[in-house]
Chain A
Amino acid sequence: MSEAEPAVPEPSSPPEEGRRPFLEVADLRIHFPTDDGLVKSVDGLSFAVERGRTLGIVGESGSGKSVTSLGILGLHNRKNARVSGEIWLNGKELVSADPDDVRRLRGRDMAMIFQDPLSSMHPFFTVGAQIVEAYRIHNDVSKKVARKHAIDMLGRVGIPTPDKRVDDYPHQFSGGMRQRAMIAMALSCDPELLIADEPTTALDVTVQAQILDLLRDLQREFNSAIIMITHDLGVVAELADDVLVMYGGRCVEYGGVDDMFHRPLHPYTWGLLGSMPRLDRARSERLMPVKGAPPSLINLPSGCAFHPRCAYAELTCGLSETEVPELRVELEPTHRAACHLDAAERRRVWDAEIRPKL
């Protein structure tokens, strides 16, 4: 076991030494009051991303991963969302900042790639016009220069004959090209932080591979920080440096990508790994699903939100039903998990029961 959770976990460097990491989220809470009760979509989330690094956020639907990304961009309506905590981007705090200041950052310093490119591009304007608009908001340039920049960007993301396609409408693009155009739009102002919310979920595998390669190359070129939100552990393994696993609005495990796949600490992460049929292993007789269904955020289970689905919950002698486990550093200095089970016991279960079956 180890000391209690420091205020701000940083996987790459110890906290409070010199400068802050490029993006730092500390104790972020995003709650939505509704008629049925308070929905705690994100409840005490902390993480950090450096430039040139990729953080993968993994979780099932309703685990709060997209709400987190919208929260960082400041896209929640303050009238119906209660946002608290701190978001530091490049030394600026965003939660308490004036919305107009955040708006100026959005698009220039941080940009987002949305999941569904068809519904997030305007069908009435050409692709070029939409990129030009985004570029001219943040850069005082003529339309001509902006258009040239849009053509450059489209070419950069691998759209053939960009000087012609720039005048096409979104419906004239295929799914993969639309996603590329969206990436071009997001990158048009060289953002330092790129948030990709399920960027490849709607795409076929061959196109997905192209987009992932593209993101990797662009990151190398622009040295941007990327937050990759996905439910596909394969995509995370391909792209991420650090991984954060969310469940019921909280982080249950946070660590480096190698630790996460080779030495996962949380039973939920084990469940996710056991649920996937894998092409890189011999075909297994059966998959090992997590029993039950993801919880409703209005009515989260008491204590550890995962306990009704956890196969090892009874080993905690009832603790998991009453107390919310804290995110603690375990074994490796940068690998954290929120679980009541004794770390040594979990290590034993992983080695003896879970890993041989994967």
Chain B
Amino acid sequence: MSTDMKKAPASGGAGESGGGASDGPLLEVRDLRKHFPVHAGLLRRQVATVKAVDGVSFSVGKGETLGLVGESGCGKTTTGRMIMRLEDPTSGSISFEGREISGLSSGQMRPLRRDIQMIFQDPYSSLNPRKTVGSIVGAPFHLQNIETPQGVKKAVQELLELVGLNPEHYNRYPHEFSGGQRQRIGIARTLALKPKLIVADEPVSALDVSIQAQVVNLLEDLQNELGLTYVVIAHDLSVVRHISDRVAVMYLGRIVEVADQADLYTRPKHPYTTALLSAVPIPDPAARDDRARIRLTGDVPSPLNPPPGCPFHTRCWKAQDVCRTEVPPLADTAPGHAVACHFPVPDPVPGP
């Protein structure tokens, strides 16, 4: 079976690194940074900076799905929140449909919120328990003063049906639904204004395995039906592989590798990516012994005090002197495959 059967429908150039599409990428992020100041002491003086995101660049074409993976604390959620402008970037640019949005005020952002929406991780805390499903899913219409031809109720019922919920559950409250159903309610709310870009932050990680698959399939169906563009933030490498066209791997606030899904998983170039892939448990007991395992030692360094040079050098088995002093730039090693490493893993690699 071809690994690339799932193709985005909307635009032809979706597989390229964004520049290939005729009308440019939908979202382009350049050198995005977010530094959180740390205050301490009686006078609340700034004593340090947490460089949560430190120079991230990527682009997402129309109809494409970009997966953003990394361990906790690597800055993937902060990146997603900056795209949504829930967090103000310290520096860098975010351009959406060619328009710079990183400096817009919240008033200027409001009309754009129709086009950029977010799916949240926790289906329990992201829905107001005191509102009915109808008013939760219908809220975007009221907030944006959007006329719906046959009334908000009808529009909401159509949305509920679209995400596979019973439209008659319009008047129920979130607690009456299971986790998977709540996530569907969140997705219906996200879809209400027909957004162009959806940032999904760990959309399935809070769900049971069997429900996870339902929601993953739903996200794919909706993409095919509505031509959506996704930025999927997740830590589960197998889910990201399944859903993404391109994948960016983050480590300590930076992107260390970005490539097409098939390329990244079969020919990872960054030592961190290879380690990450080899750490995923494979659901096949026969594969227990004959896997080439790379075990990283230690933990991710604190972003308060990142190591100089390549952020990964403290855990890298290939690290040399240059890694300790110089930050490797994110550079193309093959078309559409960029790696930030002084000594990328050569082809072919022993991988899972």
Contacts and interface: CB of A to CB of B under 8 A. Distances in A.
Interface of A: 60-61, 160, 174-177, 204-210, 212-213, 231-238, 240, 257-258, 261-262, 271-280, 282-291, 293-294
A234 B280 contact: yes
B347 interface: no
B119 to A, nearest CB: 18
B107 interface: no
B342 interface: no
Contact of A276 (B178, B181, B209, B297): B209
A61 B241 contact: no
Given A280-B352, A282-B2, 19 more contacts: A160-B298, A206-B276, A209-B278, A213-B295, A237-B283, A257-B285, A262-B286, A271-B210, A272-B210, A277-B213, A277-B238, A278-B283, A279-B265, A283-B6, A286-B217, A287-B242, A289-B210, A289-B213, A293-B181
A152 B293 CA distance: 27
Given A278-B238, A285-B5, A293-B180, A204 B213 contact: no
B155 interface: no
A208 B279 contact: yes
Nearest to B265: A279
Which of A160, A213, A277: most chain B CB closer than 10 A?
A277
Nearest to B351: A279
A233 B281 CA distance: 8
B128 interface: no
B72 A277 contact: no
Contacts of A284: 1, 242
25 contacts: A61-B179, A160-B298, A205-B235, A209-B278, A209-B279, A209-B281, A210-B295, A233-B283, A237-B281, A238-B288, A258-B286, A261-B284, A274-B213, A275-B212, A279-B237, A279-B277, A280-B352, A283-B5, A283-B6, A284-B242, A287-B216, A288-B213, A289-B213, A290-B210, A291-B214
Contacts of B286: 258, 261-262
Which of B220, B280, B283, B288: most chain A CB closer than 10 A?
B283
Interface in B250-304: 261-262, 265, 275-288, 293, 295-300
Contact of A277 (B216, B281, B297): B216
Contacts of A212: 281
Contacts of A294: 178, 208, 210
Interface string B225-258: 0000000000101110110000000000000000
A196 to B, nearest CB: 14
Contacts of A279: 237-238, 241, 265, 277, 280, 282, 352
B101 interface: no
B interface, size bucket:
35 or more
A160 B210 CA distance: 39
B160 to A, nearest CB: 16
B137 to A, nearest CB: 20
A222 to B, nearest CB: 21
Nearest to A58: B209
Interface in B81-100: none
Contacts of B293: 209
Nearest to B180: A293
B282 A175 contact: no
B211 interface: yes
Contacts, number: 147
B105 interface: no
Contacts of A176: 299
9 residue pairs, one from A and one from B, having the closest CB atoms? A234-B281, A289-B213, A277-B242, A275-B213, A290-B210, A287-B213, A209-B279, A204-B71, A60-B208
Contacts of B214: 289, 291
Contacts of A60: 208-210
A236 B297 CA distance: 22
Contacts of B179: 61
Nearest to A208: B279
Which of B179, B261, B299: most chain A CB closer than 10 A?
B299
A185 B237 CA distance: 31
A175 B283 CA distance: 24
Contacts of B295: 209-210, 213
B72 A272 contact: no
A228 to B, nearest CB: 12
A293 B6 CA distance: 27
B150 interface: no
B145 interface: no
B198 to A, nearest CB: 19
A130 to B, nearest CB: 21
A206 B288 contact: no
Contacts of B352: 279-280
B218 to A, nearest CB: 9
Contacts of B181: 293
A195 to B, nearest CB: 19
A280 B284 contact: yes
Nearest to A216: B288
Contacts of A262: 285-286
